[in-house]
Every structure is written in structure tokens, then in C-alpha cells.
Amino acid sequence: MKNRSSQGRTFSPGLVVSDLWVTYANGVTAVCGASFALRAGTITALVGVNGSGKSSLFKAIMGFLAPARGEVTLSGKPVREALKSGLVAYVPQAEEVDWTFPVLVEDVVMMGRYGRMNFMRIPRAADRAAVSAALERVGLAELRKRQIGELSGGQRKRVFLARALAQESEIILLDEPFTGVDVKTENAIIMLLRAMRDEGRLMLVSTHNLGSVPDFCDEVVLFNQTVLAQGPTATTFTEANLAEAFGGSLRHIRLGGGALHDDDDDRRVTVLTDDERPLVLYGPRDAETLVKRPPEEPR
Amino acid sequence: MSLVALLIDPLAHGFMQRGLVAALLVALVCATLSCFLVLRGWSLMGDAISHAVLPGIVVAHLLALPLTLGAFAAGLFTAWLTGRMAAASRIRPDAVMAILFSGMFALGLVLFLRVETDQHLLHILFGNMLGLEWNDVTEIALIAVPTTLIVLAKRRDLLLAGFDPAHARAIGLPVGRLDSLLLILLALAIVAAMKAVGVLLVVAMLIAPGAIAGLLSQRFDRMLPIAMGAAMFSSLAGTLLSFHADAATGPAIVVFQSMLVALAIVIRRRKARSGATA
């Protein structure tokens, strides 16, 4: 089911981070001089080692941390203003959520509408319609009266995607959307994200799942306290750039020469993995020869 | 004696009328807040604030201020200090609260026994439900009713701030201010309950109804009426029992609440065994 209110709308300027510095009270600087700009209607992977400041960057974008220097603008607006107008949705990691909380699936999705309601948060017909449409779209309409703890891993992810849909936000930040889900669910989520991108939304996805990045991300930001590389996935998500971003902390398997070929073919297979689905590269040059899964649906 | 007489007879007495109204008001405000405290893991905060009001009462008496005001200020001060101490040291919040509330309580006892007051220590600790005057009941109502209404009106925001503070912030809700609001309302509820059930027993009233509701429902909007119902039933039953059996009123109410918690656990286990989900 299509979400009519967001269908065909073009969302403009996107997310701009300029010379951002984030320093904690204990003096630790987590982000030093990061700058990048993302267009609306794109999916960007934010990739970096644990402790590289990715979550600090997320927090600064959502205004939880005040930057020591620099600024963030969302759709051309400063952070506070953007949050007030409901421009930004956040899809949390599964570990951040208390699944025993006494809320139903539809209650969580309705929370996406709170910014649009009066101070008592009494839902109107439009809010209920948006919740139903979002649940329908992620395939959870049947489970709307379930307590959230009764859902499977993949369904749990989709509840929070549905909340972002109901919120009708232009910018969506996703934290590890593929942790602990099976391949079928991962494909379903990727298809949903692509459809949302085609509606003009901007998505920034923090992920360790290197193998899925070429499948659905248009752009990549490689991050370690600052931006190491940014650009289209094909030219940025390369072995050399990943090696720089991860240093020695990436599992690295390379097959070539006699181990791979009977002839004198000089191409080799490279497997890069952080902890989840590995990135497989084949050939002497990285960019053009990425081994990709066939896309599940035409873009 | 008929069942009706069992219920009606006590109400012929003015002190029983006042006691019952106070007990129901206190039940209402504590039950509403308890749903949030239990879900947020703030039960100990209720304990901390309630113990900490004692020095506030003595100081207010010395300064000839309303005791309620002193109690409220001391409660809030402790809540604030808990946050500061947990942030500034490496002591865990539960340890900070335990130190603070026993420390404040001890300070209160030292001051209380040093200073001549017209208050009875036992009444402050365990309440004096059947000794209340109408102006006491009015004061309880003036605090309890608005506090309950504010909690109910802001319940969705308060719940969201506890369930998913990141999303709450992302849609522009003032999460820090909502947390402070909850603490202020908690301190108000404790002050309202002080004269009726005392600072020691109010802790049970701030935890048991929420625990009962959490056991019996998986939907927050249903937890609230369940908690209120359980608390008000306990207040009614406890007050009547104290009249007929000549028992202490506050403790009788708390005994009923504790029995309802045990009952809720049994019901929950039965449900789980039969595979039904609430």
C-alpha cells in the first residue's frame, strides 16, 4: 500500500554537516571537523569501526549533543527547528529498546505521530489513518494489537520503520537495521528503504553489515572521528578506503593465484568482514568489479 | 451484622468519613504515579524522597513555615542531589539513593529529637488516618487532585520519555523537563500522602498498584485503571478493617495492597500456563 501523503513529494536540501566537532564533558573529542552533505532521495551508509564516533555523530545530528564547533542543518534548518517540525526520525538498535514495556505494536507506531498532535496527544482520524497505512506497508497490520515483546527479530525492526513512516519525516537515521535478522527480512527491509528513497526521503544508515552496503546504499561515508572518504558507493566503498577506515580490525581473507585459478589469471577474491555479512570483492581493481547480489527488484 | 451495615456503620462517624476520603485520594494519586515508577525502575526514588522529607518537616517547623512546604522542598532537594551525586561520582544510582535516603532520614531523626515540636514521630512515620481534620483532608485533596490530573494529561509524553527517550528527543519533546516533572509530581504525591499513611508506608502505595497493573496488563492505558482500582479497593478495605478490628489504618491498607500483589502474581502465572496473553 502506498503512503499517499508522501508519494511524489520532493524533499529538498537534505543533511549538511559542516566542520562538526563534538567533545564530551570528560574532554574526549569524538568527532573532529567532520563535513559532508547528503542529498534528499539517497541512502547513505555510515561505516566505521566501533568507537569511531558514529553514534556521537548521530547524537549531534539529532541534537542530543551540542557541537563544540561547526553546525548541522537538516533540510536547510538548524537542528532544533528541524526536530520541532518532525523532520527527523530515528530507528533505534534492537538492544536499546525495552521489549517488556507494556505497549502494543500500534502504540509504538502512533508515537511517530505525537509531534503532530495537541498537548494531550489525542489521535485524530488522520493520525489513525497514517498508523494503519504504515503498518500495512511494513506488513504488520495483522499484528498491531500484539505487545512488542511478542514479535520476532525481523518484525521488531519493522515496527520502528513503521513509526518513521507514520512520522512522515524527510530524514531517517537508522542504527544497525540488520543486526540479528534473517536474509529474508533483510531483503524486505532493503526493498522498503529503496521505496522510501524513491519517495524523496534521505536515509543515513549506520551499519557493520559491509556486504549489504553495495546492495542498497547510493553513497558511503567512511568515518573515524572525521570523514575519511565520502562519495558514490561504486567509487568510495573500495578495499583501499575500507582498509584505511578499519585499520587492522577488519577480518581480511584474500584468495588469488594458484589457490583460485588453474591458469595465470591474476584476479583474486577478497573477503572483508567486520562481524556480519562479508564484503566480497573480485578482481585486481576494486571499484568496477564489486561482486554484487542481483537486485531483488528493479530500482 | 449484615454486609451493608459492615460498610455503612463506620461512616456514621466523622473521623471515619475523613479517613476514608483521605485514603481514597492518596490511593488515587499514588496509584497513577506508581505505573510510571515501576516501568521506569524508579521505585527506589519514591523510597528516597519519602524518607528525605523528615528533616524538611523539622526545619519548616523551626522556621514556622507550613510543614508541607518543608517536606516538599526536602524531597525535591534529595531527588536533585541523587542526580548530581550519581553524575559526579562513580557510585551507582541505587547506592547513591540508599545512602542519601538513610542519611536524610537519620538527620531528620536527630533534628526531630533535638527540637521540640508538636508533631508525633509515629504519625509522621506511619500516618494518622483516623485523626485527620477536614482542613487536613482539604490540603490532601488540593495536592492530590491536581497532581493526578497532570500525570493523566501528560501520561503519553511521560511514557514516551521513559520508553524511548531518543525518539522523544527526535520529535522535539523536552525529555529532561519531563523527567523533572515526574520527580516533582512524585514529591507532591508523597507530601499529600504523608499525614494519612506516613512517610514509611507511602512507599508501598507508590509501588504496589503499578506492580499489580503491570502483572495484569500489557497495555499501559489499561494499567492506569487497574492500578487505581486496586489501590482504591485496598484503601476502602483497609480503612473498614481498621474500624471493625481496631487495627492501624495505614498498615491495614498496605497489607491489602501486598495481598493483591500476591494475587496478581498467581493470576499472571495461571494465564501464562493456559497460554493466554493479556
pLDDT tens digits for range B38-72: 999 888 889 899 999 999 999 998 999 998 999 99
Question: How many angstroms away from the CA of A249 is the closest CA of chain B?
Answer: 29
Strand order in the sheet with A15-23: A29-38, A15-23, A69-74, A77-78
Q: Which residues of A touch B219 (CB under 8 A)?
A: 102-104, 107, 147
Q: Which three cell numbers stand for residue B152?
A: 493523566
| CA distance, residue B197 to nearest chain A CA (Å) | 29
Using a CB-CB distance cutoff of 8 angstroms, which residues of chain A are in contact with residue B171?
A: 83, 86, 112, 114-115, 167
Q: How confident is the model at residue A118 (pLDDT cuts 50, 70, 90)?
A: confident
Q: What pLDDT score does B275 carry?
A: 64
Regarding predicted confidence, which is higher, A249 or B35? B35
Question: Is B166 in contact with A62 (Cβ distance < 8 A)?
Answer: yes
Q: How would residue A1 be classed by pLDDT, with cut points 50, 70 and 90? A: very low
Nearest to A111 among B167, B217, B218 (CB): B167
- Answer whether A64 sits within 8 Å of B166, measured CB to CB: yes
Question: Any idea what the CATH number is for the domain that residue A202 is in?
Answer: 3.40.50.300
pLDDT for residue A73: 93
The mean-pLDDT minimum among A20-24, A226-230, B87-91, B235-239 falls in B87-91
Q: Is residue A126 part of a domain?
A: yes
Lowest-confidence pick of A255-259, B23-27, B59-63, B218-222: A255-259
Q: What is the pTM of this model?
A: 0.86
What's the pLDDT score for residue B1? 61
Higher pLDDT, A163 or A120: A163
Nearest CA in chain B to A95: B164
> Is A7 part of a structural domain of the chain?
no
On whether residue A279 sits in a domain, the answer given is no
Tens of pLDDT, residues A145-177:
999 999 988 899 899 999 999 999 999 999 988
Domain coordinates in residue numbering, chain B = 3-274
Please give, rounded to a whole number of angstroms, the shortest distance from the CA of A53 to a CA of chain B.
17
Query: Is residue A8 scored above 70 in pLDDT?
Result: no
List CB contacts (< 8 A) between B39 and chain A.
101-102
Find the domain containing A46 and state its range: 15-232
| Closest residue, chain B, to A148 (C-alpha) | B218
Better-scored residue on pLDDT, A184 or A67? A67
| Better-scored residue on pLDDT, B144 or A211 | B144
B39/A86 touch (CB, cutoff 8 Å), yes or no: no
When scoring A103, A104, A145 by the number of chain B Cβ atoms within 10 A, the one with the most, hence best to mutate, is A103
The yes-or-no verdict on residue A298 having pLDDT over 90 is no
Q: What is the pLDDT of residue B263?
A: 97
pLDDT tops 90 at residue A292: no
pLDDT at A255 over 80: no
pLDDT of residue A287: 44
Dig out the grid coordinates for B58 from the structure: 523539622
Between A271 and A113, the higher pLDDT residue? A113
Architecture of the B3-274 domain: Orthogonal Bundle (1.10)
Q: What is the mean pLDDT of residues B129-151?
A: 95
Q: Which pLDDT band holds residue A275 (cuts at 50, 70, 90)?
A: low
- DSSP per-residue string spanning chain B: --HHHHHHGGGGSHHHHHHHHHHHHHHHHHHHHHHHHHHHT-HHHHHHHHHHHHHHHHHHHHTT--HHHHHHHHHHHHHHHHHHHHHHSSS-HHHHHHHHHHHHHHHHHHHHHHS--SS-HHHHHH--GGG--HHHHHHHHHHHHHHHHHHHHTHHHHHHHHH-HHHHHHTT--HHHHHHHHHHHHHHHHHHHHHHHHHHHHHHHHHHHHHHHHHH-SSHHHHHHHHHHHHHHHHHHHHHHHHHTT--HHHHHHHHHHHHHHHHHHHHHHHHHHT---
Interfacial residues of B (vs A; Cβ cutoff 8 Å): 39, 153, 156-157, 159-160, 163-164, 166-167, 169-173, 214, 217-220, 223, 277
Interface A:B, Cβ pairs < 8 A: 68
Predicted pLDDT of residue A297: 45
pLDDT at A232 over 60: yes
Residues 71-100 of A with CB under 8 A from B: 80, 83-86, 88-90, 92, 96-98
- Portion of chain B with pLDDT greater than 90, in percent: 68
- pLDDT score, position A293: 46
- Domains identified in chain A, total number: 1
Mean of per-residue pLDDT scores for chain B:
91
User: pLDDT band at residue A289, thresholds of 50, 70 and 90?
Assistant: very low
